[in-house]
Amino acid sequence: MARAKAEQQQPATGMTLIVMVGLAIAFLLFMAFLNVVKSGNLLSETNLLFATLIFYAGAGALYLGFGVTGTESYVKFASLATWLGLIANTAAVVHRWYEAGHPPFASVYEMLLSFVWTLAVLTLVAEKKYGVKVIGTVTMPVAIVGVVLMQLLRTEVHPLVPALQSTWLHVHVTLAMLAYAACALSFALAMMFLIQDNMKTETFLAFTSASTLAIYASVVLTRFEKWGGLSLVAWNPENKAEVFLSKGVRLFVTIPDLGWQMTLTLLVVASPLVFYALARWKNNHSFLTLANRAVFLSILLQVMTLVMFLVRAKDGRYPSLDADGLFPTSLAASPFILSGLVGGVFISLLYLLLMWRRPDLGRLLPSADNLDRITYKTICLAFPLLTLMIAAGAYWANQTWGSYWSWDPKETWAAITWLVYAGYLHMRITRGWRGRRAAYFAILGFAVVMFTFFGVTYLLPGLHAYA
């Protein structure tokens, strides 16, 4: 139905969107300029990041427009916006480097800064060198989420503690960044392969619903409190740090009623999966229509939940079950939940994009065979980089802690990532796995990478306390 609508539309020249995005960028830059005039500080990192965000957002909108309508002229302007954003991003990196006196690798904030930069570079490389124009549709929103997350994290320059003062820090982290970016690229390529391979939209629907369900289930299961509250970590705005009751025990505050809302959203994001299962079971197509409607409802509720979460967890004082009185919390205290919620909305929107895709989207992408081969090639690049990253980390650990391997969670998960990709290579080389199965494997690998990068930092304790 929606697809039919898209086909009815005239093949517009695409000027409308370009002009709109251009005007939006100009407007935001003008506002930023007024702000700069007021503060009189042009080249502050905040301003540079703001410019980065504006340009990336514009590029993301244009890439999305290209993904949906296939209008070629969008891509030109999208890559222009990406270039401008990349310049601002580079300036922010340089500024940070100069300010801190070390490359920006020493905290989650700095890692994100470098990661977003690498992602933008790789997007441009993939577009110019390999002609994969649609890739910005996936990578730019990821970059935007990264820049938004950065606004919430601690930004002060921290001097390097003694253990981090080593050349191996730079070797290790540069390799990690390159390896993770290559993994991200292989993920995007594998997704495109699945689209090009005419994978059924329903399968994506099940994927989307399952992953959003996993996000909400993990939030509700770990954070649902008595009487429908949602417990979040208390945040001390002066120290910009979490509040600890005693060593290793964090203080949690409860935001009333948010737990109910989360549970409701959990049920709604689960419903497309239920309808999908019913459709498969009863072999009845009308359930799929219901499932697609449920996706709309789930996006609506997810956005509402996200807004409520943003409004209520941004500031404010809430009671705690463990101590008397009201305690402040902040978005910065729960980056994991926040990125989960944003990620859920993002995945669902990607599905919508796929549902509304033009039937000739395939024409815009390289052939399925080519995508399969490029995915394999990026993994061939990522795997040695992962190996070297782990080796450099082990050598550095040996220099600092006197042991090259201590089974710390980050180390262990890096090894798990390595094993997953080793499994991919073995299945591909000795068993001749191609196409869909290989693509699923590449997606699994990237999921593990993301968990190693974010999940381990925020969920599992260990020596890697810096990032």
Partner 1 sequence: MAVDLRGLAHKTWRSIASIQTGVVLLILVVILSAVGTIVLQRPVTEPDEMQNAYSPQVLRILDAVGLTDVFHAWWFLGLMLLVSLCIVAASVDRFPNSWRYFSRPYKYPDESFRRALHPQKSVAIADEESGLVAAQRALHSLGFNPERVVREDHFGIFAERHRISELAVYIVHASLLLIFFGTIVDGLWGWRGTLNLNEGQTSNFVELRDGATRTLPFAIRCDSAGQENYKDGTPKKWWSKLAVVADGRDVRKKEIVVNDPLLYSGVRFYQSSYGPNGKVDKFLLVAAPSNGSGEKREIGLAVNDTFPLDADTTVRFAEFIPDYAVRDGQVYRKSNELQNPAAHLIVTSKSAGKAFDVWFPRMDEVADNSKSPYQFQATDLKMGHFTGLQVSHEPGQWGVWSGVVLLGIGLAFVFYVVHMRFWAVPVCDPKTGKYSLWIGGTANRNRDAFEQRFSDLAASVEAELKSLAIISQSEQVATGVGNCSR
Helix, strand or coil for residue 249? strand
Reading the block at residue 462, the tokens are 């260990």
356 vs 451, beta carbon nearer partner 1? 451
CB of 461 to partner 1, least distance (A): 8
Taking the CA atoms of the chain, what radius of gyration do you get in angstroms? 23
69 vs 452, beta carbon nearer partner 1? 452
CB crowding 32-47: b at 16 or more within 10 Å, else e: beeebeeeeeeeebeb
| Residues comprising the chain, all counted | 467
Residue the block writes with tokens 């244009």 = 62
2 vs 419, beta carbon nearer partner 1? 419
Give Cα 270 distance to the centre of its chain: 21
51 vs 394, beta carbon nearer partner 1? 394
Q: C-alpha dihedral over 426, 430, 436, 440, to 10 degrees? A: -10
Residue 317 forms beta bridges with which residues?
Answer: 328
**Which residues in this chain contact partner 1 in the complex, by CB under 8 A?**
158-163, 165-166, 168, 248-249, 373, 380-381, 383-384, 387-388, 391, 394-396, 398-405, 407, 409, 412-413, 415-416, 419-420, 422-423, 426-427, 430-431, 456, 460, 462
CB of 385 to partner 1, least distance (A): 10
State the CB neighbour count (10 A cutoff) for residue 306.
17
62 vs 386, beta carbon nearer partner 1? 386
Query: Do 25 and 61 form a contact (C-beta atoms < 8 A)?
Result: no
CB of 161 to partner 1, least distance (A): 7
Query: What is d(CA 80, CA 87) in angstroms, rounded to the nearest whole number?
Result: 11
131 vs 384, beta carbon nearer partner 1? 384
CB of 403 to partner 1, least distance (A): 6
CB of 17 to partner 1, least distance (A): 36
CB of 395 to partner 1, least distance (A): 7
Query: What is d(CA 373, CA 380) in angstroms, rounded to the nearest whole number?
Result: 10
Q: Where are the alpha helices (DSSP H) in 239-358?
A: 258-282, 286-314, 335-355
CB of 406 to partner 1, least distance (A): 8
159 vs 237, beta carbon nearer partner 1? 159
State the CB neighbour count (10 A cutoff) for residue 125.
13
300 vs 459, beta carbon nearer partner 1? 459
456 φ/ψ angles, rounded to the nearest 5 degrees: -65, -40
CB of 387 to partner 1, least distance (A): 6
CB of 384 to partner 1, least distance (A): 5
Residues 412, 447, 270: CA angle, nearest 5 degrees? 125
Which residue from 95, 138, 149 is spatially nearest to 457, judged by alpha carbons?
Answer: 149
393 φ/ψ angles, rounded to the nearest 5 degrees: -60, -40
Query: What is d(CA 88, CA 52) in angstroms, rounded to the nearest whole number?
Result: 5
Query: Do 48 and 42 form a contact (C-beta atoms < 8 A)?
Result: no
CB of 383 to partner 1, least distance (A): 7
CB of 266 to partner 1, least distance (A): 22
Helix, strand or coil for residue 247? coil
11 vs 248, beta carbon nearer partner 1? 248
356 vs 404, beta carbon nearer partner 1? 404
301 vs 456, beta carbon nearer partner 1? 456
Q: What is the DSSP letter of 156?
A: S
Query: What is d(CA 458, CA 12) in angstroms, rounded to the nearest whole number?
Result: 46
